Amino acid sequence: MTDRLGIVTQYNGSDATQAAILLADHAQLSGVPVSCFAVGTPNRFVDSRWDSRIIVESKQHFTDWAQRHTRILWTHVPNPGEVLFAQELGVQTAILLEGSHLDPDDGESLREVDKLLSINRFVGRLVQDYWNIPKKSFVYMTFAFPTVPASRSISSRRIFWATHTSQAEYTPIIIFDLLRELLEQDESIELVVSYSACFDNKAYRKFRSLRALGESRVRVFRRPERTFQRRLMSEATLTLSPALSDSFGIVGLSSLSVGTPVLSWNAKPQNEYLSNGVNSVLVSASMERRGLAAIFVRREMQDLIKVVSDVLKNETQLCKMRKCAIDTSREREKQFAAGWEKWLKS
């Protein structure tokens, strides 16, 4: 029987939603029919290629939608009833693990589902140990975005920063003053901000106020299309990714795929795909566990921001890291394809 994949997501612009879109795109390229089902109240504008194709539960019930598929993948932990209903239909079930959004009550669904897809081994091991889930239940599927050749015009001193959903607990305001100070100290530095819908209008206006330092130096984009965001990344010298936790690596992997090195924390799971001095610059960080599989870094943002000027001055190192970023992305694409095939054959 030909696989027909259904992906259930909250479709709210979160990293889990971006992961769902990445998997849906890959399914199409692989010739696997795919549809996406949105639970709750989805955002109207997430990805123009999928916005009008998302099936919402207010118009079609999950039980009707589920019957049209041979596999269903959730990008969040569903209630056990949904899993059991799908399995009674003979549907293969899977959950894509996101380490920062797990609850003690999730154990029943995690044990019941046929497969647990883990983007990194760090989160996979945490889930396996906490709920004592057999190792055979896991499929490790390395994420990767399509690699774009690095031949393009690059600004020699431009920072790209995409606000990240896992930053929501400390809000971007903390980093705002640090970036303003950096821009005031070095007038040659440019800043491009890709602003997520997960933050409020007040914070958005605060970042737009940075344009007073020079509209040619500071550009702020709210919810840019993914292809446009990747273009902005590709034109930058360095992507700033100060995520407190990062289950999927959406920002970092997107940056590597266009050949732009990343500045981030030397903490798991980021350092599973970011290598200090190779494709990125990693700043030391201590770790703090909150909840179950959520790991946060504990560090003052000054430690991350203060190295930016030094990194931007080292053009020789940046050139080497750009090449290594592309090499890393291409290798991960191969690993991603292998993990995908392993899951489809499981």
Q: Is the pLDDT of residue 166 over 50?
A: no
Structural element, H or E, at residue 5:
strand 5-9
Neighbours of 251 (CB within 10 A): 29
**What's the mean pLDDT in 236-248?**
82
Instruction: Name the band, by pLDDT with cuts 50, 70 and 90, for residue 164.
Output: low
Tell me the HSE value of 251 on the side-chain side, using a 13 A CA sphere: 30
Cα–Cα distance for residue pair 257/165, rounded to 1 Å: 20
pLDDT of residue 323: 93
Residue 318 clears pLDDT 80, i.e. is over it: yes
Mean pLDDT value across residues 8-33: 88
Query: What pLDDT digit, counting tens, does each position of 244-296 carry?
Result: 667 788 889 999 999 999 998 888 878 889 999 999 999 987 777 666 655 66
Predicted pLDDT of residue 293: 55
Fold match between domain 5-140 and domain 158-331:
yes
Lowest-pLDDT range of 6-20, 143-157, 167-181, 320-334: 167-181
pLDDT of residue 196: 66
Task: Tell me which DSSP letter residue 46 carries.
Answer: S
According to the model, what pLDDT value does residue 155 have? 62
Q: Please write the tens of the pLDDT for every residue from 120-149.
A: 888 888 899 989 999 999 998 888 888 986
> Residue 150: how many CB atoms within 10 A of its CB?
15
pLDDT attached to residue 320? 93
- The crossing angle, in degrees rounded to 10, of helices 250-257 and 15-29 is 50
Average pLDDT over residues 83-96: 96
| pLDDT surpasses 60 at 5 | yes
> Which of 141-155, 162-176, 208-222, 230-244 shows the lowest mean pLDDT across its residues?
162-176
Q: Are 270 and 282 in contact (CB under 8 A)?
A: yes
Least confident piece of the model among 101-105, 190-194, 296-300: 296-300
Domain assignments of the chain as residue spans, ordered by start: 5-140, 158-331
More confident residue, 176 or 117: 117
* CATH superfamily placement of domain 158-331: Glycogen Phosphorylase B; (3.40.50.2000)
Beta-bridge mates of residue 8: 37, 74
CATH classification (class only), 5-140: alpha beta
Report the alpha-carbon angle 150-151-152, nearest 5: 105
Nearest alpha carbon to residue 298 among 218, 238, 244, 225: 244
Q: Is 103's pLDDT higher than 90?
A: no
Q: Look at residue 30 and tell me whether its pLDDT is greater than 80.
A: yes
pLDDT score, position 169: 47
Alpha carbons 311 and 263: distance in angstroms, whole number: 9
Tell me the average pLDDT across 29-58. 87
pTM of the model: 0.88
- Using CA atoms, how far residue 55 sits from 4, 26, 72, 301, 321, in Å, is 15, 19, 14, 40, 41
**Helix axes 201-208 and 173-185, enclosed angle (nearest 10):** 0
What pLDDT sits at residue 295? 64
Give the SS3 label for residue 149: coil
Radius of gyration of the chain (CA): 20
| Per-residue pLDDT tens digits for 68-80 | 999 999 999 999 9
Question: For residue 167, is pLDDT > 50?
Answer: no
Parallel, antiparallel or unpaired: strands 286-290 and 294-298:
antiparallel
pLDDT, residue 24, reads 93
- Which tops the pLDDT comparison, 60 or 249? 60
pLDDT at 343 (0 to 100): 92
Calculate ∠ Cα 20-226-257, nearest 5°.
85
Residues 6+ apart with CB under 8 A from 118: 97, 124, 127, 138, 139, 140, 141
Q: Is 198's pLDDT higher than 80?
A: no
Q: Show Cβ contacts of residue 280 under 8 Å, excluding neighbours closer than 6 positions.
A: 252, 261, 262, 263, 264, 274, 321, 325
CA distance 334 to 316: 28
Q: Give me the mean pLDDT over the 158-166 stretch.
A: 73
17-27: per-residue pLDDT in tens? Answer: 888 999 999 99
Interacting residues of 159 by C-beta distance below 8 A, sequence separation 6+: 179, 189, 190, 191, 192, 236, 237, 238, 239, 240, 308, 312
Note if the bond before 269 is cis, omega within 30 degrees: yes
Q: Quick one: what percent of the chain has pLDDT higher than 90? A: 40
